[in-house]
Structure 1
Amino acid sequence: MNALLPPSLVEHSEAEALFRFETGAPDAVRAALGMNATRIGDAVVLSMREDPTRFWSKALGFGRTAPVTAGLIGEVCDFYRAEGTPQAVLQLAPSVIPGDWAEICRREGITAQSSWVKLVGVVDELVANADASDRRPPAGVRVTPLEPGDAARWASVMMRAFGMPETHYAQMAAASAGQPGWYPYAAWLDGEIVGTGTMYVAEETAQLFAGAVLPHARNRGGQTELLAARARMAQKLGCRWLVAETGAETGGSHNPSLHNMLRLGFRTAYERRNWTWQPVTPASA
């Protein structure tokens, strides 16, 4: 396990960024998507009842100051039941999963799914690698800080790059661009926004978020340049660490995002399982 940051801080970084991203959505968007959020113990618990992607209802950030218990997970699942959430993902670092986790999962209707890789980078090292004379420059792609007038286009590209609906979701993303602590960037090709990436900064840690490039503009170095631009900004802001996550490779699969981050100098902290909750009647203890 990477010792740059303890898992509790790695998880907290992502949890706070996602909490701010979702709760910062306009009221009309929150109403249309059936959004609600709370904090239970250390965790942020996010519900999006009318989300056809089943991506945005998540509970994460567990175990920073107190252990994960059956009672805590029960409260999280009770929140989702009360919200009428059709499905949610619980994300816990391996180090905080309790010994009775299998029993908790059986009782609450939680099942194991895919895994993500959590990565941490030392900002100064990442910037040095990004500015190294032998690094290949992007092919025709330039990356700039996002101008306010481009927020709607940028948000639309973000959703298309991730294969998500634009209606409501793009408005949520665009709203983040003007909020404190967020530093959004756009990748351009021939005058068109073709890639997105943003970053949420809290004290000495910066959380990477929503880095993606449209299919027709991939394999030009745009995603790496988005990483480099945010690392440089993190350095200017006095951050020491960058935190990121992406899908784990399984069964011979290849994740270019993971390799782009590793080449720039990110280090794997750990793999984290996604645990899916669905509303079943809790099993008796």
Structure 2
Amino acid sequence: MENILLDKRFIKDIENQEAQYWSEYYLCCRNPLTKKLGLNVNIVDGTVCCSVSKIDVLAFNRAIGIGLNYPVTEDHIKNIIKYYENAGVKRFFIQVSPAAEPDNYKAILNNMGFKHYNNWAKFYKKLDMKLSGFKSNLIIEELKLPETELFDNVINKAFEFSGGSEVLFTQTYKRPGWKHYSAKEENKIIAAASMFVCGKYASLAIAGTLPDERGKGAQSALILRRINDAFDAGCEYIIVETAEDKPEKPSASNRNMKKLGFKLAYLRPNFIYEFH
């Protein structure tokens, strides 16, 4: 696929893959956790809308896949705003891929009160062969059931999430298509990661390292393990989202992907809406 960056079908596929794996975090939750966090997920005019009303974190309160199934219209945007208003969030953002229609979606969003907030980078890697490992003292293995709380602890400290939201990411443990991993040093879990597989695509989902344990190559080792597991599962592509790598705000995850052969598919703008 030489012109993969221009292939709207490919873009739609990987956007839908992200919407599927991210929404599973919400769908797998049950009370009292759902009530405690104010969790909700719904499809509004073809757009997957996820909300965590008790936690003001934009990654948790975002709309994925807009303009892929139906063209963006003012009525469409009004319905999305209404969803988040009813959910009780303070703010949210809409993520718009290059496959979104119509081309003037920015003008529509601006007219509805949205502002450009930042960009996320979408990467992909074609899986042609397994990759050889590199020297490391870390042990990479699949997460065991008694270790799920340790996984949550790593994610909590890595991202400084609040309100207990870090437990979202082990709700999918042992669910179809999901694998969770740990990186251990002297039998201590210092990093964690997960992967979601569906059809020919694999997604590198949540991943984090304890702040005091960074710089030991844990994430590179976890990425490598997931690449090879995705290849063994018959996937053709592995995809991931990271922050944009900017001189004033560098992204270690972004740079790790490039080092391991991932290619930038596109930068995806995030448009924020704030309730007053």
TM-score if structure 2 supplies the norm length?
0.91
Bigger relative contact order, structure 1 or 2, given CA contacts below 8 A and separation 6+? 1
Q: How far does the alpha carbon of each residue in 1:145-183 deviate from its partner, in whole angstroms, 9 at most, with x for none? A: 111111111112112111213x53233222221322211
**Residue 102 of structure 1, CA deviation:** 4.1
Contact 1:11 1:62 (8 Å CA) reproduced? no
Within the alignment, does 1:154 sit opposite 2:151 as a pair? yes
Contact 2:49 2:80 (8 Å CA) reproduced? yes
Within the alignment, does 1:64 sit opposite 2:60 as a pair? no
Quote the residue 1:27 is aligned against.
31
| Aligned with residue 160 of structure 2, among 144, 160, 163 | 163
Contact 2:155 2:166 (8 Å CA) reproduced? yes
Alignment-mate amino acid for residue 37 of structure 1: V
**Residue 47 of structure 1, CA deviation:** 1.2
CA distance in 1, matches of 2:116, 2:256: 27
Within the alignment, does 1:116 sit opposite 2:112 as a pair? no
**Residue 45 of structure 1, CA deviation:** 0.5
Cα distance change, pair 82–2 in 1 and its aligned pair in 2 (3 A): same
Unaligned runs of 5+ in 1: 281-285
For the aligned residue pairs, the C-alpha RMSD in angstroms reads: 2.0
Contact 1:26 1:175 (8 Å CA) reproduced? no
Within the alignment, does 1:203 sit opposite 2:199 as a pair? yes
Contact 1:58 1:89 (8 Å CA) reproduced? yes
Contact 2:116 2:269 (8 Å CA) reproduced? yes
Contact 2:29 2:168 (8 Å CA) reproduced? yes
CA distance in 2, matches of 1:26, 1:263: 39
Superposed, 1:1-285 pairs within 5 Å as 2-3=4-5, 6-96=10-100, 98-125=102-129, 127-128=130-131, 131=132, 136-138=134-136, 140-165=137-162, 167-279=163-275
**Residue 252 of structure 1, CA deviation:** 4.2
**Residue 49 of structure 1, CA deviation:** 0.9
Unaligned runs of 5+ in 2: none
Cα distance change, pair 244–114 in 1 and its aligned pair in 2 (3 A): same
CA distance in 1, matches of 2:179, 2:45: 28
**Residue 35 of structure 1, CA deviation:** 1.2
Aligned-pair identity in percent equals 22
CA distance in 1, matches of 2:113, 2:161: 27
CA distance in 2, matches of 1:54, 1:65: 23
CA distance in 2, matches of 1:70, 1:201: 34
**Residue 186 of structure 1, CA deviation:** 0.7
CA distance in 2, matches of 1:238, 1:156: 32
Alignment-mate amino acid for residue 17 of structure 1: Y
**Residue 97 of structure 1, CA deviation:** 5.3
CA distance in 1, matches of 2:69, 2:104: 19
CA distance in 2, matches of 1:83, 1:174: 23
